[in-house]
Amino acid sequence: MTTRSDPAGGWRKSSYSGSGNNCAEVRTSHPGIAVRDSKNPHGGILTFTPGQWRAFTRTIKTGGYDPNRPR
């Protein structure tokens, strides 16, 4: 994932998101990875351990996530 840095807090978002503010932002935090919605930066934050983050991104990259599948 290509990223650009956000100097205010270390949040990054993919360069693929263009100039819009409609994506997830990620930052490395101790002891893991934090994720937030760029449209609501003061809202909730998800946190992952490094192992959970690797499993999550691997699933996305290999097509293992289907947003249309009922949960």
Three-state DSSP class for residue 12: strand
Q: Residues 55-69: pLDDT tens digits? A: 988 998 888 877 787
Q: How confident is the model at residue 7 (pLDDT cuts 50, 70, 90)?
A: very low
Query: So where are the chain's domains?
Result: 3-61
- C-beta of residue 14 within 8 angstroms of C-beta of residue 21: no
- C-beta of residue 36 within 8 angstroms of C-beta of residue 11: yes
Among the listed residues 8, 9, 13, the one whose alpha carbon sits nearest the alpha carbon of residue 23: 13
Q: Residues 25-62: pLDDT tens digits? A: 889 877 789 988 888 888 889 999 999 999 988 998 88
Find the Cα–Cα–Cα–Cα dihedral 8, 43, 61, 33, rounded to 10°.
Answer: 60
Higher pLDDT, 5 or 12: 12
